[in-house]
Chains A and B, each alone.
Chain A
Amino acid sequence: MTPAVQSLGVVDALPVDPDPRVNRLPRLERLALGAAREALAGQKAPDSLGLVFATGYGGLTATEGFLRSVASRGMAFGSATAFHQSVSHSSAGQLSLLLGIRGPVLTISQRELSGEAALRVGLTLLDRIEHVLVVAADEQTSLLDAAYEVFGRVFRAAEGAAAVLLGPGPGRLRVERCELFSHRASVRRYAPPARLGPRLAESVRKNGRNVFVSIAAPTPAIERAERAALGPEARILEDQPGTARVGFHPSAGLVRFVLAARHLLATPGEAACVLHGLALGGGQSITVLRHDA
């Protein structure tokens, strides 16, 4: 049985919580919590629930903060709070605490495919637990912007978080496929167009009619390669009028998933969406989201 998408959440700006203690949490956690709460809104968190949290470079602010405290005061005087927040898993730990999640709680970090990788892991966990909440979040910091310059420019840098609750149902959308691949590429490059093209084109061809595509488009050059591989007939979500263009960040893949899901739900006649994901270092993902007619 293909797993159902039960609900969704997405934020592209820092939410303000009525609880002041929540507003004192690290920025990354506040983004993640905003999306998670939206996905769980209007329902009690299921008893049998796991969490897969993904972040490409999360905790960067805390890592920088800790190293700054050490640089300015000395190795013996590091900030305990900044250190514990710099541990990648602290966001997931905090989320599990706030949402009362006692099932498996995992943190995945797979560069710009982090959201898709978390989705893949979350789908496997459904063998063991009835529901899985997949949350991806990345914050934009000047640190990350500067780091991307080391790897080649990125345009429309942004931050955000997305959440997807997977379960046995009910839900009108199903994740039919979520696969990850790796191609040979240097750590600072995406897979070459000649390699990423064929799989993308084939995945659209195989999925029948009334299919639209969401492209990764991390750079103008890669976007051109994706469009070339898809051909002029392809219906690209990002071109649809009224569709928000998601800025680039490592969790953007899951944000696009949520937007594609909402588009499918709002548009009868659309059968499926193929989501393309790409990461520096040669990773590629294909996710197929299908509307239960």
Chain B
Amino acid sequence: MRGVAITGVGIVSALGSGVAAHLEAMREGRTPLGPLTLFSPDDLGSFPVGEVDPALVPRRGPRSIRLALHAARQAVGGRALKSPGVLALGTTTGGILDSERHFLKHRGAIGAEDRELLLYHAMGTVTDVLGRALGLSAEGHTFSTACSSSANAIGFGASIVARRGGWALVGGVDSLARITYAGFHSLKLLSSSPCRPFDRHRRGLSLGEGAAFLLLESEEQARERGVPILGFITGWGCASDAYHPTAPHPRGDGAVAAIQSALADARLRPSDVDYVNAHGTATPANDVSEGLALQRVFGDDCPLTSSTKGLTGHTLGAAGAIESVLSLIALSSGFVPATAGLEEPDPEIPIRHVPSGGLARPLSVVVSNSFGFGGNNTALVLSRAPA
């Protein structure tokens, strides 16, 4: 894809709010994952999560909408986005933090009381309300492809800008919720200690929440308006395993296809890639199949690779966007974050890990991976210079 400039960024997560806070957190490498306080885990017990500080985003009101608005406002800044554009957002939870309370109270049915809690259940409402709150005139698209939701939203918005110009506000959001906490527990995928991606002793993922948005504009329009260009989205690749409802393809077929397709979209070769922000959830299955996929794409010439889920937790539908922003921060600052939580690399996973403490290194091209349930694999390519 050519000419898709990034002119605005916003992010909120367990690491804090805004680009500067996230760069500092990546440098420090200190994990914020801790006990759940947003709701009571009841008999489930405490698995570490990445919660957004209540001082940043108050806990009243529909949480996904609040998180999304917080980040989207940073991305839009003071800009008046007049012409018709695209609002594309990825989410898996939507307004479920409230609607699940209704279902739990009425034991799974719809009851007569507290029906207001259902108001934001549909995922599309987050996009509608966000657009309205920002005063945008935009076609709205809500992507819900599990853990790759916002990566696909970004890719889609970028492809529209590449083709017809204009602007696209793209990103994603997910809040912590009982359904995902209990749900991932039922699949035995939650780690009882902060997650350790690619580590030989990894025992599963740690959930997180947050939101991130990018404002994309045609490069031509950005230069005409004299707005600073922070980077470029140059590639989007998406491919399906078609293998199993929940397990990833053991040889990473879909992941390989997605990364190769993204690189082809960017007209780049594997050797052009300086850093890979991995999906790296710290589940036994994902890390091994992702490692294999990276080896198949890059051969012996594997770029520096790290997972930032030890810093933010697995933010599910928001992960693609949050990690794209972290990748953009790495690109613009020339700092490559290490994998927080990694102490003893698993010898079965052939990855070139970023040294502990991170690395100062100028970057030109970053690949960000997001692999979802149901075999959906998405890769984005971000570049510092135009394609």
Contacts and interface: CB of A to CB of B under 8 A. Distances in A.
Contacts, number: 229
Contact of B122 (A57, A69, A77, A83): A57
B144 A150 contact: no
Interface string A94-121: 1011001111111111110110010011
A287 interface: no
Interface stretch (A214-222, A233-241, A265-273, A275-283): A275-283
Interface string A45-77: 000001100001100000111111111101111
A97 B254 CA distance: 12
A244 interface: no
A127 interface: yes
11 contacts: A64-B109, A66-B183, A72-B107, A74-B44, A76-B42, A84-B187, A89-B373, A89-B376, A96-B375, A106-B238, A182-B140
Q: Which of A79, A96, A124 has the most CB of B within 10 A?
A: A96
A210 interface: no
A102 B156 contact: no
Interface in B138-152: 138-146, 149, 152
* Interface size band for B: 35 or more
A84 B145 contact: no
B26 to A, nearest CB: 29
A106 B143 contact: yes
A83 B186 contact: yes
Nearest to B316: A87
B107 A109 contact: no
B124 A114 contact: yes
A94 B374 contact: yes
A90 interface: yes
Given A64-B109, A111-B124, A101 B142 contact: no
Interface stretch (B125-133, B204-212, B280-288): B125-133
Interface stretch (A141-149, A157-165, A196-204, A224-232): A141-149
Contact of B103 (A71, A80, A102): A71
Interface in B160-209: 160, 163, 178-179, 181-187
B269 interface: no
Contacts of B109: 64, 68, 143
A102 B239 contact: yes
Counting from the closest, the 6 A-B pairs by CB-CB distance are: A93-B374, A68-B108, A83-B183, A281-B128, A104-B238, A180-B139
B374 A187 contact: no
Contacts of B108: 64-65, 67-69, 71-72
B374 A89 contact: yes
A86 interface: yes
Interface of A: 50-51, 56-57, 63-72, 74-80, 83-84, 86-90, 92-94, 96-97, 100-111, 113-114, 117, 120-121, 124, 127-128, 142-143, 146-147, 149-150, 179-182, 184, 187-188, 279, 281-283
Contact of B257 (A77, A102, A121, A184): A102
B302 to A, nearest CB: 24
Contact of A64 (B103, B143, B243): B103
B385 interface: no
A181 B146 CA distance: 26
Given A75-B182, A120-B139, A179-B139, A282 B128 contact: yes
Contact of A97 (B42, B185, B243): B243
Q: Which of B41, B181, B373 has the most CB of A within 10 A?
A: B373
Contact of B179 (A80, A83, A103, A114): A83
B118 A124 contact: no
Nearest to B373: A87
A243 B122 CA distance: 31
B244 interface: yes
Contacts of A57: 121-122
Given A150-B116, A281-B124, 11 more contacts: A68-B109, A71-B108, A97-B375, A105-B238, A105-B240, A106-B143, A124-B159, A128-B159, A182-B131, A187-B120, A282-B132
Contacts of A107: 143-145
Contacts of A77: 186
B83 interface: no
Contacts of A283: 124, 128, 140
Given A63-B179, A89-B372, A281-B125, A96 B119 contact: no
Contacts of A149: 115
A202 B121 CA distance: 34
